[in-house]
Structure 1
Amino acid sequence: MSGQPLLSVRDLTVNYGHVNAVRGIDLDLAAGEITTLVGANGAGKSTTLMALSGLVKKAGGSVQFDGRDITSLAPHKIVASGLVQVAEGRATLTTLSVRENLELGAYTRSDGAAARARDIEHVYSLFPRLAERAAQMAGSLSGGEQQMLAIGRALMAKPRLLLLDEPSMGLAPIIVQDIFRTLRRINAEGLTIFLVEQNVKQALKLAQRAYVIENGQVVLQGSGAELLGDPRVQAAYLGH
């Protein structure tokens, strides 16, 4: 990686009681790239993301974002700094409309209604179904539409780094293709993405850089293409 990473994680450790969920991992994310973290269920992927977002307590280690130490920042301050997470399970506000969900995504911003309205239109251009359903309650959307809304709401916070936790979970393959195509597009527009994903093949095809985590430790790293072709990854995750 040339130059200073946008996100630099050193010796990150997270414990749940006596369980070491994440055990001293190092990660570097380059600005403008898609990086993925893949591994089996229970390997520590989601815990890693939640620790970066400040949603679970770190037992040790440091997190630097754009040269600033955010290790101990509160979650809302981490969002305000430009690091925004789309949670596993989508977590849309089901009794609010699509548009209200999107407006809430901008709660940390102070750049005025016109800028926010422009960004809502941009989200609608990324996900035309959300425009069609702008006045509908979020709870009435399909799973795929809720995932689109969760991503759109996160984009409304104007992130510089978007964390995504299992965006394909429970969705039909055609919807997954749609969502991955949109992730490629928003990355091409300049947004850095850190993706945790159970669909290892899709994730490695999408990502420029990849890490494999097992039992809370990074065991392999390289480009997405390198790991896609690695016999160990193929045997463990791709059924080859």
Structure 2
Amino acid sequence: MSATPLLKVEGLKVSFGHVEAVKGIDFELHEGQITTLVGANGAGKSTTLLALSGLVKKAAGRVMFDDRDITGLAPHKIVSGGVVQVAEGRATLTTLTVRENLELGAYTRRDGTAARAQDMEQIFTLFPVLKERSEGLAGNLSGGEQQMLAIGRAMMARPRVLLLDEPSMGLAPIIVQDIFRTLREINQQGLTIFLVEQNVRQALKIADRAYVIETGSIVLHGTGRELLGDPKVQDAYLGH
């Protein structure tokens, strides 16, 4: 693993009116790793992701990606550069087909239909149910299938970093296991993942590196295994 982070965040602040939602946090993502940001609802996790994607304004701080300052870039330029987010709640376009949703994921690419078709086949290999339902409307998919579609659509953009916002939200435990197993598989193929999750146990189990955020501040960090065994984390989040 390179000692230089692929993505580095320094002093990130986000405010909504007089409320400081993210209070000057620092963290880094290393290439080929799964990094997770965990914490209670309202701690600032999703706001952090939205700031990385350029979807909410940063009050202060800097975001470096692959030695390039992307702090002020527009969202579509951040996606084109290789940082792609899977939104909370999946945000599938329910009146379009599964295939059309996947094709939209590649909207920033300029490498021709053959390359996009090849990538779509890889998505279908990863999620066979999407191939079976490819000509059906996305709105007819179950919650778990819509989450698979949202991940597949993001991967069609050929990300170097995949940002995931609460992928387990609203899903049955057995489906959550499948989603996390797939994330590990995608990561083993070389994709760097930044995972925001309320399901702290599942997130820490698969994370190489982990951060805990409370009321907009990072209060703990370490390896996933270290935080899984940390008494403070167990008391606050794991019900021990």
User: Taking structure 1 as the reference length, what is the TM-score of the superposition?
Assistant: 0.99
SS at match of 1:148: helix
Gaps of 5+ in 2: none
Q: Which residue of 2 aligns with 1:95?
A: 95
**Which letter does structure 2 place at the counterpart of 1:226?**
E
2:41 aligns with 41
Task: Give runs of aligned pairs for residues 1-240 of structure 1, distance below 5 A.
Answer: 2-240=2-240
Structure 1 runs of 4+ off > 3 angstroms? none
Tell me the amino acid that sits aligned with residue 207 of structure 2: A
Separation in 2, partners of 1:59, 1:80:
24
Deviations 1:126-180 (A, max 9, x none): 1111011001101111111100000000000000000000000000111111111
Q: CA deviation at 1:196?
A: 0.3
- Given that 2:7 and 2:63 are in contact with CA atoms closer than 8 Å, whether structure 1 keeps it comes out as yes
Whole-Å Cα distance in 2 between the matches of residues 187 and 104 of structure 1?
A: 23
Report the secondary structure of 1:204's partner residue: helix
Aligned length: 240
State percent identity of aligned pairs: 76
Q: For the residues of structure 1 that align with 2:215 and 2:11, how far apart are their CA atoms?
A: 15
Q: CA RMSD in A?
A: 0.7
SS at match of 2:170: coil
Following the alignment from structure 2 to structure 1, what is the Cα–Cα distance between the partners of residues 178 and 122? Answer: 16
Q: Distance in 1 between matches of 2:128 and 2:174?
A: 15
Normalising to structure 2: TM-score of the pair?
Answer: 0.99
How far does the alpha carbon of each residue in 1:41-88 deviate from its partner, in whole angstroms, 9 at most, with x for none? 000000000000000000000000000000000000000000000000
Shift of 1:3: 1.8
Q: Distance in 2 between matches of 1:181 and 1:124?
A: 16
Gaps of 5+ in 1: none
